[in-house]
Amino acid sequence: MSDNNNGAGGGFEPKIVGFLCNWCSYAGADKAGGSQKSYPPNVNVVKVMCSGRVDPQFVLKAYSAGADGVLILACHPGDCHYKEGNYRAMQRHRMLLRVLNQHGIESERCRFDYVSAGEGDRFINVLTEMVETVRALGPLTKAIISDNPNSNMIEERS
Amino acid sequence: MKIGVYFCNCGSNISDKVDSQQVQQELEGLADVAYFKINDLMCSDDGKQFLSDDIAAEMPDRIVIAACSPREHENTFMRVLSGAGMNPYLMQMVNIREQVAWVTDDVGKASSKAAHFIKGAVKRVGFHKPLEKKSIEMSAYVLIIGAGPAGLKAALSIAETGRKVTLVEKSPAVGGQPVLYEEVFPNLECAPCMLEPILNEILHGEHAENIEILTMSEVVELTGFYGNFIAQIKKTPRYADLHQCIGCGECVSVCPVDVKNEFNNGLDDRKAISLSFAGALPNVPFIDMTACLRAKGEDCRLCEQSCPLGEGIILYDDAEEIVERRMGAVIVAVGASLYDAGLIPKLGAGTVPDVYTSFEFERLLSSTGPTGGQLVTRSGKVPESIALIHCVGSLDSNHKEYCSGVCCQSAFKFNLMVEHKLHDTHIHHLYKELVYPGKEEFFLYKRAKENPNAVFTRYRNIASLEITAAEDKEGGSIIIKNTLYEKAAIKADMVVLCPALVPAKDTGKLNEVLGTTSDTYGFFEELHGRLDSVRSKVRGIYIAGACQSPMNIAQAMTQGMAAAGYVLNGLVEGKQLEIEPITASVDEERCSGCKVCMLLCPYRAISFDAEKRKSHVNEVLCQGCGTCVAACPAGAMNSNHFTNEAIFAEIEGVLA
């Protein structure tokens, strides 16, 4: 198992959680798989039916469980299988960034983007960019301590 | 809890890049994992048999299958679980082929990534609950709103299978718009001849007893949901007995009251008791009580007295009535109307005599119309020239940006019908664009173009056209100027405006009653423009014909048939409606009644129980997106199979 958070310098491999909607972005990730192009293995995928299901608490939970970055991928505007869940996800992401910024967590650690079922290459590009961005930022030093999912506290990571 | 992990080599697709031994080592010590088994090809018959036998032998509480994408074989393995007597929702698939093996060069890294994915699944699957598909009683009856081409086709198709249909029509007659036309494009077929066999089938055919027709009626309330709708239908009194009247018309001829005939767009008069037009079906007159002398307090009984069947046919005591019908599905087919040409005042609609809209012109051409099909101006003159203005309010960001696709065909049809009626009359086509897509449509354009009396002139912007009454009647009583080219004025005796198709009047109101949505232009909004253009966004409510988008008769008929197909496919007589278990549900203890969820739900699946002050999820309508769950500030909304607990556990697992 690769432990990474204290790996100063070149050895740092960021851990990223990717929330992918079932209909577009998860299918886009499968499409990338079909093309059999290699990409960084740092993103751990958690599938949800719709990006609208991504509760901001999931993102905070990911940070508290050790993620250095979070990727939320949705259907393109107008393409949502559930009509408008992706708009909700986009709105929540904006709101969440303000909270994260207030606690000194960089916006770049939480990226929201659109990947369609056909966009395998776009999935790879977004994912690779995210990994490189977070790699450049270094390990997340803030930790979100939370046993109760309804009350999140952000502290220095030990 | 006993969790079994199955690892599929997928031939060598997975095993080439993911080392099952390394994965197994990384999983060591993970709580609840009772065993780790490898199979070469789980989706093969042998693989499925292995899985089935092994589940029977091991009796695990939950299983994790690390294999291909769940988009590939999740359903396959769910069926295996069901067959082996295990609830299919107690399984979690891990995608170690498309998202690991195929996209990671380094075996060590791929195996480690696979292990993280599997850990997430193991943690998650512990929170899975055995879910069951529920089924509820439903009605196979169908309500159809609008008796035009789409509604008639749907009604007949459904009735032919023995299903009961209620067909609600606002006007006194069935047949929709085309029944008012003399001939239809593209082949100038006689419209009544084309429609009457269908109308007769609906009214008197073999399956007519399955179709209840409510004319002069409107749906005023719809409650319930797919499979179990309840509609309140307002019936306006006809004042004539639909079943006994023989439609002889004696009563019409004796009526002393003349009023403007709206069925001929006010181009002539009708009586207070009247048929919509000669040959209207059902062939029973109606009394317009706003015009009848009886409504003014006079005891006129001329119509009743003239009836050869005696008393009891004309029903002066007939009254408005609300009837209730229960049905499983609703088909909306209320058609379209024309863009109001009065919104482009320089075109002279309603102000310059002998400027007509295309609908008005259809009636002028019709043998049941105000002139009996004689093409004459209001002053009774045979027109020497007629101008046909295409694209009125179309392709124009100041009006409607779309092309309706049918107006050009109407104009070409008018060209030929005029030629047939008046051989020497000149025809001017003024157009912005000409369209004639389709295998038959070009023919009509070609014929119109070949008319030696026809001239085609293009204009750039309808705002530069000015239509006025000519002072000098020489060569025509109307003058059409293009203000950009002063010299290019055209004179005509008649002008026909061919406006864009727009949503029918009251479409917005009906949308509110049904809870459906409208698109940018006010048409009924479809679920998906290409995949599901006859499904509205409310489950069980279908939209067919020009109420969905401008279209021709052929397309409307096809959509009517498509809607019938959805109904026959979805509501099977004698069967129950199956409900997918991945839906949201409310924990009433925690619900504070803030209604945030209701505002967010795109399917109107959430209602509010005013008594309890709690939200309620309708499992039939809920599609399980989970948007409401993420929004609930009280954490009262739960998402089956995608619970917060399960997702939190998965996040912890993949990062462990």
Interface of chain A toward chain B, CB-CB under 8 angstroms: 1-2, 15, 17, 26-27, 29-30, 32-34, 36-39, 41, 44-50, 52-58, 61-62, 65-67, 81-85, 88, 92, 124, 149-150
Of A62, A85, A150, the CB nearest to B627: A85
Q: Which of B545, B570, B595 is the last residue of a domain?
A: B570
Residue B428 counted as domain residue: yes
Output the 3-class SS for A42-73: CEEEEEECCHHHCCHHHHHHHHHCCCCEEEEE
Nearest CA in chain B to A55: B630
One-letter amino acid of A115: V
As for how many domains chain B has, the answer is: 5
Do B513 and B480 share a structural domain?
Answer: no
Do B205 and B252 share a structural domain?
Answer: no
Banded model confidence at residue A5, pLDDT cuts 50, 70, 90: very low
CATH number of the domain encompassing residue B53:
3.40.50.960
The answer to whether B252 touches B274, Cβ cutoff 8 Å, is yes
Report d(CA B299, CA B393) in Å as an integer: 48
Question: Which DSSP state fits B425?
Answer: -
User: Do the chains contact at B627 and A38, CB–CB below 8 Å?
Assistant: no
One-letter amino acid of B147: A
User: Do the chains contact at A45 and B99, CB–CB below 8 Å?
Assistant: yes
Query: Which residues of chain A are within 8 Å of residue B630 when distances are taken between CB atoms?
Result: 52-56, 88, 92
User: Do the chains contact at B103 and A150, CB–CB below 8 Å?
Assistant: no
Residue B135 counted as domain residue: no
**Which of B12, B582, B654 would best serve as a mutation to test chain A binding (most A beta carbons within 10 A)?**
B654
pLDDT of A153? 52
Do B489 and B383 share a structural domain?
Answer: yes
| Model pLDDT for residues B8-34, shown as the tens digit of each residue | 999 999 999 999 999 999 999 999 999
The answer to whether B136 touches B576, Cβ cutoff 8 Å, is yes
Residue A120's contacts (CB-CB under 8 Å, 6 or more residues apart) are A28, A29, A31, A32, A33, A34, A35, A37
The separation between CA B617 and the C-alpha centre of its own chain, rounded to angstroms, equals 25
User: Do the chains contact at B103 and A88, CB–CB below 8 Å?
Assistant: no
User: Do the chains contact at A53 and B655, CB–CB below 8 Å?
Assistant: no
Query: B170: burial class by Cβ within 10 Å (0-12, 13-18, 19+)?
Result: buried
| Model pLDDT for residues B189-205, shown as the tens digit of each residue | 999 899 989 999 999 99
| Model pLDDT for residues A42-101, shown as the tens digit of each residue | 999 999 999 999 999 999 999 999 999 999 999 999 889 888 899 999 999 999 999 999
The answer to whether B215 touches B323, Cβ cutoff 8 Å, is no
Listed residue (B241, B92, B4) closest to B643, CA to CA: B92
Do B516 and B391 share a structural domain?
Answer: no
- B355-357 and B494-499 as β-strands: parallel, antiparallel, unpaired? parallel
User: Do the chains contact at A50 and B109, CB–CB below 8 Å?
Assistant: no
Cα–Cα distance list, B480 to B347, B457, B497 (Å) = 9, 12, 12
Among all chains, which residue has been given the structure tokens 């209840």?
B212
Query: Which residues of chain B are within 8 Å of residue A65 when distances are taken between CB atoms?
Result: 651-652, 655-656
Of B26, B106, B602, the CB nearest to A82: B602
User: Do the chains contact at A27 and B71, CB–CB below 8 Å?
Assistant: yes
Query: Which residues of chain B are within 8 Å of residue A37 when distances are taken between CB atoms?
Result: 103
Do B209 and B164 share a structural domain?
Answer: yes
Of A44, A58, A82, the CB nearest to B625: A82
User: Do the chains contact at A49 and B655, CB–CB below 8 Å?
Assistant: no
Of A27, A32, A61, the CB nearest to B651: A61
Q: Is the pLDDT of residue A151 over 80?
A: no
The answer to whether B516 touches B621, Cβ cutoff 8 Å, is no
pLDDT of B12? 96
Q: Which of B570, B596, B625 is the last residue of a domain?
A: B570
Kindly give the parts of chain B with pLDDT less than 50. none
Nearest CA in chain B to A1: B112
User: Do the chains contact at B635 and A46, CB–CB below 8 Å?
Assistant: no
Query: Which residues of chain B are within 8 Å of residue A60 when distances are taken between CB atoms?
Result: none
Query: Which residues of chain A are within 8 Å of residue B625 when distances are taken between CB atoms?
Result: 49-50, 52-53, 81-82, 85
Of B113, B602, B644, the CB nearest to A149: B644
Structure tokens at B346: 């320089």
Report d(CA B573, CA B555) in Å as an integer: 28
Residue B530's contacts (CB-CB under 8 Å, 6 or more residues apart) are none
User: Do the chains contact at A62 and B647, CB–CB below 8 Å?
Assistant: no
User: Do the chains contact at A44 and B627, CB–CB below 8 Å?
Assistant: no
Listed residue (B118, B128, B115, B121) closest to B86, CA to CA: B128
Listed residue (B398, B388, B173, B141) closest to B285, CA to CA: B173
Listed residue (B551, B610, B564) closest to B177, CA to CA: B551
* B94 Cα to chain A: minimum distance (Å): 10
A–B CB contacts, 8 A cutoff, strictly below: 126
User: Do the chains contact at B95 and A30, CB–CB below 8 Å?
Assistant: yes
User: Do the chains contact at B655 and A39, CB–CB below 8 Å?
Assistant: no
Query: Which residues of chain B are within 8 Å of residue A66 when distances are taken between CB atoms?
Result: 655
Do B72 and B221 share a structural domain?
Answer: no
The answer to whether A32 touches A125, Cβ cutoff 8 Å, is no
Structure tokens at B253: 């001829």
3-state SS class at B423: coil
Query: Which residues of chain B are within 8 Å of residue A61 when distances are taken between CB atoms?
Result: 648, 651-652
| Model pLDDT for residues A86-125, shown as the tens digit of each residue | 999 999 999 999 999 988 899 999 999 999 999 999 999 9
* B404 Cα to chain A: minimum distance (Å): 23
Q: Describe the crossing of helices B644-655 and A56-64 by its angle, rounded to 10 degrees.
A: 30
Nearest CA in chain B to A47: B647
* A54 Cα to chain B: minimum distance (Å): 6
CB atoms within 10 A of CB B193: 10
pLDDT of A108? 97
Of A29, A54, A65, the CB nearest to B655: A65
Which range of residues forms the domain containing residue B200? 144-225+325-335+507-570
Of A38, A45, A57, the CB nearest to B105: A38
Query: Which residues of chain A are within 8 Å of residue B66 when distances are taken between CB atoms?
Result: none
Do B331 and B341 share a structural domain?
Answer: no
- B282 prior amide bond cis, ω within 30: yes
Residue B655 counted as domain residue: no
User: Do the chains contact at B69 and A30, CB–CB below 8 Å?
Assistant: yes
Banded model confidence at residue A6, pLDDT cuts 50, 70, 90: very low
User: Do the chains contact at B625 and A53, CB–CB below 8 Å?
Assistant: yes
* B323 Cα to chain A: minimum distance (Å): 35
Banded model confidence at residue A1, pLDDT cuts 50, 70, 90: very low
Of A53, A56, A84, the CB nearest to B626: A53
Q: What is the dihedral of CA B327, B331, B337, B343, to 10 degrees?
A: 80
**Which of A25, A83, A144, A157 would best serve as a mutation to test chain B binding (most B beta carbons within 10 A)?**
A83
Looking at per-residue pLDDT, the higher value among A155 and B58 belongs to B58
Regarding the domain delimited by A13-156, which CATH topology (the fold level of the hierarchy) does it fall under? Rossmann fold (3.40.50)
The ipTM is 0.91
Q: Which of B525, B549, B570 is the last residue of a domain?
A: B570
Question: Which DSSP state fits B240?
Answer: B
pLDDT of B474? 80
Do B475 and B356 share a structural domain?
Answer: yes
User: Do the chains contact at B103 and A27, CB–CB below 8 Å?
Assistant: no
Nearest CA in chain A to B628: A53
User: Do the chains contact at B110 and A41, CB–CB below 8 Å?
Assistant: yes
**Which of A30, A86, A151, A157 would best serve as a mutation to test chain B binding (most B beta carbons within 10 A)?**
A30
Do B315 and B330 share a structural domain?
Answer: no
The answer to whether A66 touches A29, Cβ cutoff 8 Å, is no
